[in-house]
Structure 1
Amino acid sequence: MAGVGPPLMNTGYNSNYQIVQAPGYVMILAEMIHDARVIPLDGREPPPTGTRQWIGLSRGRWEGETLVVETSNFNAKNPFRGSSEQMTVLERFTRVAEDTIAYEFTVDDPGTWDRPWTAEMPMSRTRGPLFEFACHEGNYGLYNTLVGARLEEEQGAAKQGRD
């Protein structure tokens, strides 16, 4: 499953996330599939059980230096490992070094698994920008644009050699 989860999972490529904090909210943006997850931190109550979304509905809070996010209210279309609408995910984000966040999550879904399970992985800071996810396979327009630009560069270099 790519995107902003939850839980956040590494995929074969484009597993980069940008975490942004604003007053009262944290936003997690995924490079692949360009999902954005907005997490309120204002202590609001969980939504009614009839309100369901693809990535669930998240509520967050700070416990010391750790961001804790609880997510429930997934719809039946969530593709996470055969999960059901009963799934809840508890995530913990703790900065353990200047460039590393320890990411821990616990999945509880009595409709799918016999008991809750937990995993942890480091999230390392990525240098540079997060790019929009786009597939260019078979995009000959992009190829031809690059061929034309390279030809212009060659012609410019040749002209400079004559001047």
Structure 2
Amino acid sequence: MKQNHRKVLLRRTSLMLAVAGFIAAQAAVAAAGERPSLDGTWKITAPRLELAPNGGADMPLTNEGRAAYENNKKSAAKGDFGYDQTATSCSSPGLPRMMLSGDRIQIFQRDRVVNMLFEWNRQSREIEMRDVPEVKPLVDTMYGVSYGHWEGDTLVVKSFGFFADKLIDAYLRGSDALELVEKIRLKDKDTLEDRITVTDPAIFTRPFETVLSYKRQKDEALPEDNCLDRKQAGQPALPL
């Protein structure tokens, strides 16, 4: 009799655990379903040449970073853009510079990946959303690699693996130690915020944060904004 009672208790316990597991799984699915959709076409509200720390603080440059910055500013003032491969040969602006551009961005949000398609030269960026190890690429690139995850309603993206000496805006360069952490969220249905923390101990004495804001645009197929066409027309290689 006691043995039968024990079996009943075990069955009930197993059933309760199964039900609890099911409820937890459904809650996780519901939570995932409540994530805001970043899908759409976006355009920066105020295109920038330069990154700027929040609150109007001075850029925390190391001696090495300041020397390179000042040299590039002087060259640009003379019309010499030899330091800027985007301006001279339409090379990819990379990150975070591309995010400062006046061209539109289309975001395609999926569970496994978030894609950004840029109007400029049909450039694209991929954010890995799977729970996989964050691995530095064997070969550094202008966009590096990006790994993302959700924290509530905010998409948090870590990017690294960039070319050394690439420009991160019109004048500042980064090193191969550059790391970006973006916190991307909807402030309202038509306003997207990208809060970027920039870390590079070779160029900056400390990490700093800058905030970019984008407005939703009409969803339509984006024409390619061709850099070579821009140069031939006497326009800036990267639109403002």
Q: TM-score range by the shorter chain?
A: 0.7 to 0.9
Checking the alignment, whether the CA contact within 8 Å between 2:166 and 2:174 is kept in structure 1 is yes
Richer in helix (by share)? 2
- Paired residues for 1:1-150 under 5 Å: 5-6=95-96, 8-11=98-101, 13-14=102-103, 16-48=104-136, 50-76=138-164, 78-80=166-168, 81-129=172-220, 130-134=222-226, 135=229, 137=232
Greater CA radius of gyration, 1 or 2? 2
Identity over aligned pairs, percent: 26
Unaligned runs of 5+ in 2: 1-85, 87-91, 234-240
Checking the alignment, whether the CA contact within 8 Å between 2:128 and 2:147 is kept in structure 1 is yes
Relative contact order: is structure 1 or structure 2 higher (C-alpha 8 Å, sep ≥ 6)? 2
Q: CA 1:90–1:73 in structure 2 vs 1: closer, same or farther (change >3 Å)?
A: same
The one-letter code sitting in structure 2 at the alignment partner of 1:5 is L
Find the aligned partners of 1:86 and 1:19 in 2 and give their Cα distance: 27
Give 1:77 shift.
5.1
CA-to-aligned-CA distance 1:27-71 (integer Å, 9 cap, x gap) = 011111321111110121111364422211110001111111000
Q: CA 1:124–1:131 in structure 2 vs 1: closer, same or farther (change >3 Å)?
A: same
Please tell me the root mean square deviation across aligned C-alpha atoms, in Å: 2.2
Find the aligned partners of 2:173 and 2:142 in 1 and give their Cα distance: 13
Unaligned runs of 5+ in 1: 139-163
Checking the alignment, whether the CA contact within 8 Å between 2:184 and 2:194 is kept in structure 1 is yes
Give 1:106 shift.
0.5
Checking the alignment, whether the CA contact within 8 Å between 2:93 and 2:142 is kept in structure 1 is no
The one-letter code sitting in structure 1 at the alignment partner of 2:109 is Q
The one-letter code sitting in structure 2 at the alignment partner of 1:131 is P
Find the aligned partners of 2:191 and 2:135 in 1 and give their Cα distance: 32
Checking the alignment, whether the CA contact within 8 Å between 2:127 and 2:148 is kept in structure 1 is yes
Moved over 6 A (4+): none
Checking the alignment, whether the CA contact within 8 Å between 1:88 and 1:107 is kept in structure 2 is yes
Matched residue count = 136
Checking the alignment, whether the CA contact within 8 Å between 1:55 and 1:78 is kept in structure 2 is no
Give 1:133 shift.
1.4
Q: CA 1:54–1:39 in structure 2 vs 1: closer, same or farther (change >3 Å)?
A: same
Find the aligned partners of 2:204 and 2:213 in 1 and give their Cα distance: 25
Richer in strand (by share)? 1
